[in-house]
Structure 1
Amino acid sequence: MTKESAPGKTTGRKTASTKKAEAPPEPPRRAMTARSLAALLPNVTAPAFKKRSPAGVQLFTDWGDIVGPAHAAVTTPRKLSAGTLSIACAGPVAMELQHLSDALIARINTWCGQALVARLRFVQDPAAGQRLTGRRKPVTPSRPYPLPEMEDSPLRDALESLGAHIAQEKGKR
């Protein structure tokens, strides 16, 4: 008495694959009480620490102190993944660093306080180690742009200074 359906045809019954998606669970209710900062920090910092560990960040920020000024001038740490630190370096420095790799690994792990780096990978990058300081060249004092029809005031001084800087910038182009 039971009918068997032909292969490839549907019977109209709902199966596990055709169930409606369940609504996401409601977020937990907020406790309206004071909580310590130590209890809140793990939830806030977890997403950031999934991307970069605090020890890895320390490695990147303290790079010059870890390897010394001579090596920091020609190298830049690029990526730390699964115990392998990728270091960008300029030209033949990679060969020198390859010979010093055991000492560098020991220095890095000692500085960070844990076995963070197991292997070094060197990537040649001519721009490695050239860090921008963000300082601008000092502006050479220029003579004020004359404004004869204005009376002496702080506004006149500011406008003369502005005019001098504009004239100086136009002269550079």
Structure 2
Amino acid sequence: MTKDRTDGKRTRAAAPPPQMSLAQPPLAQAPRALAMRSLGALMPAVTRPAFRRQSPASAQIMADWADIVGPDLARGTVPRRLSAGVLTLGCAGPIAMELQHLAPQLIARINRACGREAVRSLKLVQDMVAQAAPPPRPTRRAPPPPVAIPDMPDGPLKDALAALGARVRERQGGGR
């Protein structure tokens, strides 16, 4: 369809918008799958955005760093980035020299922890705030003496209740 304008040029008339019925869903929506799917089939779609930012090996190295290198090296170093087989480590100044000497053993430990050859070399970056010292692990105290429950028969239930009563008494400040 064309219309003549007053200046003699022809223009195309806009088509009226299509009428949508309320009974039919819009065509843009895909029908919902009602079949059950395994969790393993759904995981790639869920993890893909996270792994675009950080590879699984890099995430494992960052999470398990203290277990991989030991508490002494973990106190002065922190993994910053894993890219193309190069692990960038932030470290305090004096530790860098030690890390250069330990690099082959450190790479072997990291690759063993990842289960594949994820790291080929180390890049050391001097970082004054490498990592705050991890909080000390709480020391285990001896359990408080159990509370006496004379009118209950012996057994595991009596032992559990006596231990619970002792903990409650300890939290209340020494008890009665």
Q: TM-score, normalised by structure 2?
A: 0.57
Q: Hey, what's the Cα distance between the residues in 2 that align with 1:114 and 1:94? A: 25
Specify the SS of the correspondent of 1:92: helix
Calculate percent identity across the aligned residue pairs: 54
1:44 to 33, 46, 65: 46
Q: CA offsets, 1:107-142, max 9 Å, x none? A: 100111100001100011111132464xxxxxxxxx
* CA separation of 1:65 and 1:33: change in aligned 2, threshold 3 A: same
Q: Is 2:128 the counterpart of 1:129?
A: no
Partner of 1:60: 62
2:87 to 85, 92, 99: 85
Partner of 1:103: 105
Q: Please state how far the C-alpha of 1:28 moved relative to its aligned partner.
A: 4.4
Q: TM-score, normalised by structure 1?
A: 0.58
Unaligned runs of 5+ in 1: 1-25, 134-173
Q: Hey, what's the Cα distance between the residues in 2 that align with 1:27 and 1:110? A: 47
* CA separation of 1:132 and 1:106: change in aligned 2, threshold 3 A: closer
2:116 to 103, 114, 117: 114
Q: CA offsets, 1:23-73, max 9 Å, x none? A: xxx564321222222221111111111212222211111111111111111
Specify the SS of the correspondent of 1:121: strand
Code of the aligned partner of 2:31: R
Maintained 8 Å contact 2:92/2:126: yes
* CA separation of 1:27 and 1:121: change in aligned 2, threshold 3 A: farther
Q: CA offsets, 1:129-170, max 9 Å, x none? A: 32464xxxxxxxxxxxxxxxxxxxxxxxxxxxxxxxxxxxxx
Superposition map of 1:67-78 within 5 A: 67-78=69-80
Higher relative contact order by CA 8 Å / sep ≥ 6: 1 or 2? Answer: 1
User: How many residues end up aligned between the 2 structures?
Assistant: 111
Unaligned runs of 5+ in 2: 1-27, 136-176
Q: Hey, what's the Cα distance between the residues in 2 that align with 1:30 and 1:48? A: 25
Q: Hey, what's the Cα distance between the residues in 2 that align with 1:73 and 1:132? A: 7
